[in-house]
Structure 1
Amino acid sequence: MQPTEQITVKQFGIILFSFVASTIILTIPGLMAMYAMQDAWLSVIPSTLTGLLSIWVMVILSRRYPGLTIIQYSQKILGKWLGTCLGLYYIYFWYMSLSIMTIQHTFFIKALLLPRSPSIVGSLTLLILCGLAVYLGIEVIGRATEFLTPMKLIFLIPLLILTIGAVDPEQLKPILGNGIVPVLQGAILPGGAFMNQLFILGWLLPYLNQPKKALKVSLFALLAIFIFIFIVVISAIMVLGSLTGQLNYSYLSVMQYIGIEGSFERLEAIAVMIWVIGSFSKVSVSLFILCISISQIFRIQNYRDLVAPVTLLGLIGSVWVFKNGAELQTYLTLIYPSAGFVTQSLIPLLLLMIDTMKRKVNPSLL
């Protein structure tokens, strides 16, 4: 059954792009460079394969179960009890993701703009705004993202152009000086983990008004993400060199360096704007997915009844999940890559394999 709320193909593609690329542009160069060092720009290429895997799996499953989310067709594939257990796990996963995205936003704002403000203030303001968007529906989230993302790019693209004057191509040498293994580590661990986020297709595809264009627009969004992140990572390395892997917000340092060397000052204000817009997109979509998942598992007719309590729980989780930025950085570097791979890639792939085997055994399911 197709949901009554729908988003256009354009909105769908922009949501995918914004969800993956919006905030990691400031963090992904450093995370990749921790493993691949000067070859981190090469890691972007194989990391895209994980995004392709997520798109392929989710699009096939959505075609087999049109109008259903992964929460719903998991019960058809695994049976009621196992499917419900998987759904509960995904609720836990999205609750943790919501809490982590919120506190990550708060830590960034505190570090750069409001160091004396209590953490709960930054988390509360973001969650209230995102909660209102979710209550109004996925159509409003789609329209807001469609408006805000181009605005973000209007400010970011000139910065990328200004970066050209500060780059040093010698910083990329020696290419593959440490072999291919560090490149693959940078791709599979931080890079692949973030590309895996395209598994949000499992919840958003039922709301696409032209399902037949799902694969095309998803691949186009992935290509845009690849180009965008590739430019950001390679420019960060050519400006910062070996310092890239030592900085939590490496591209922010690039912006600050441009502001010092050039005729512009305080360019980190643009970084704050980009971050806030990106955080709104990610947290809104995550909160929407969490509310939808809970409503489908517990048979609640209207997910909007859950927005207020889930938003409050997200606020509590953001305060509880990490005490400081060091714990967050450890999670993003060591824990999230493996947890993200299992949750976002391996489990959906297993669902597809099980469903395929069931259809071969019982052709009537075709």
Structure 2
Amino acid sequence: MAWGMGAVYLACILYLYRKNPERSLLESARRAFGKLPAGALMLPFIVLMFWNVAGIVSEIGLFFKSTMLKETPTSVVHALMFVMIALTARAGIVVVARMSALLLALMIAFIFIVLIMVSNLFQPEFLLPLLPSDTGAVFRAAYIAYGFPYSELIVFAFILQLVRREEASKVGKHLYIALAVNGLLLLLSLVCSLLVLGPLTGDLKYSLFQLARLIVIREFVERIESVIGFSLIVGFYFKATILLLILVRTVVEWLNLRDERLFTLPVAFVCLLLSITTYTKESSLNEMVNVVWPLLNNFCYVLPMLLVVAATLFRRRKRP
């Protein structure tokens, strides 16, 4: 259900892209509503983007704190991550794309290697019953997965105009393939975690990391969880980098400025302060992701996009 909502939002984003291939969501909003109403409509989006980038880096800090670097202050981890993220975002979208071609391929390969190596521990009875007695739990889980990550697909509406014109016809196909790979990989990881960990899956954080800890082959191959740690860090790193890049572009565009590179480090510093001062407890971060975040995404991400889509469709029908 969450993946289906993501596919609907992706269709809306691609509709706007086809109608205005050289305009971001903010520019499309200005064309539909005017400059001042569009600026007011996008202000919550910009504010939430600051919290979003800060929350991702906070998740990296909590991962290190609970697994690898238990004695290292989280502020140090946050600062080092933001330095890398800011420098990568400052280098531009082309550099991010070239880096991701290799690192994301390694990330996916490591995940499949771990899932194959842990397959001897599968216990199919852990998949039963297929549905709990309270079917509302399914909808609550779909609500959480919808809020994180599928409702966040809206942010791509701010960078699709960077696609080269000769590649514009392939954008929709590539994005739907990426979304399908994302959904299948997430589903496969969840099913494999259930097959091995059973009821503990819902109580353990970073279930793939916990699966990798169980791999021991003749006391020769062990402690393989480091490759999953690498995969998680790469995923967090690229997501935070892309969101920071979009945030800087949106702030510069919203303020009618020109130089994006000049604002990358100040925006990253504000996000660093938010990550250190806001997400100080793991329990509060979990509540934020599971309860508050889907609601905020609906009002700050989804609603502005739907309004722009409706206005664009209405203007098109109104024309003779």
Q: TM-score, normalised by structure 2?
A: 0.94
Write the distance in 1 (CA, Å) between the matches of 2:30 and 2:9: 20
Any gaps of 5 or more consecutive residues in structure 1? 1-45
| 1:85 counterpart (27, 40, 56) | 40
Gaps of 5+ in 2: none
Q: Could you tell me how far 1:261 is from its partner in structure 2? A: 9.6
Partner of 1:343: 300
Name the aligned partner's letter for residue 47 of structure 2.
Y
* CA displacement 1:94-125 (0-9 Å, x = unmatched): 11101111111111112111112121111111
Q: 2:42 touches 2:304 (CA, 8 Å); kept in 1?
A: no
Matched, 1:218 2:175: yes
- Tell me, in whole angstroms, the C-alpha distance in 1 between the residues paired with 2:92 and 2:65: 30
2:270 is aligned with 1:316: no
1:266-345 mapped onto 2 (5 Å cutoff): 266-345=223-302
Alignment match, 1:55: 10
Instruction: Return the TM-score normalized by structure 1.
Output: 0.82
Is this contact kept in 2: 1:239–1:254, CA < 8 A? Answer: yes
2:111 is aligned with 1:150: no
Q: What amino acid is the match of 2:236?
A: S
* Match 2:57 to one of 102, 108, 122: 102
Q: Give the Cα–Cα distance (whole angstroms) in 2 for the partners of residues 273 and 267 of structure 1.
A: 11
Q: 1:263: how far off?
A: 5.5
Q: CA deviation at 1:269?
A: 1.2
Q: Which residue of 2 aligns with 1:70?
A: 25
Question: 2:73 is matched with which residue?
Answer: 118
1:175 matches 2:130: yes
Q: How does 1:190-229 map to 2 (within 5 A)?
A: 190-191=145-146, 193-209=148-164, 210-229=167-186
The root-mean-square deviation of aligned C-alpha atoms, in Å, is 1.8
Equivalent residue letter for 2:127: L
Task: Tell me if structure 2 keeps the 8 A contact 1:152–1:274.
Answer: yes
Q: Which residue of 2 aligns with 1:18?
A: none
Is 1:127 aligned to residue 77 of structure 2?
A: no
Check whether the contact 1:103–1:318 (CA below 8 A) recurs between aligned residues: yes
What residue identity is the alignment partner of 2:306? L
> Aligned partners of 1:332, 1:260: CA distance in 2, in Å?
36
CA distance, structure 2, for counterparts of residue 354 and residue 183 of structure 1: 34
The offset of 1:183, in angstroms, is: 2.1
Offset from partner CA, 1:267-299 (integer Å, 9 cap, x none): 221122112211210111011011000110111
1:320 deviates by 1.4
State the one-letter code of the partner of 1:246: D
Q: 1:344 Cα shift?
A: 3.4
Q: In the aligned structure 2, how far is the partner of 1:211 from the partner of 1:259?
A: 47
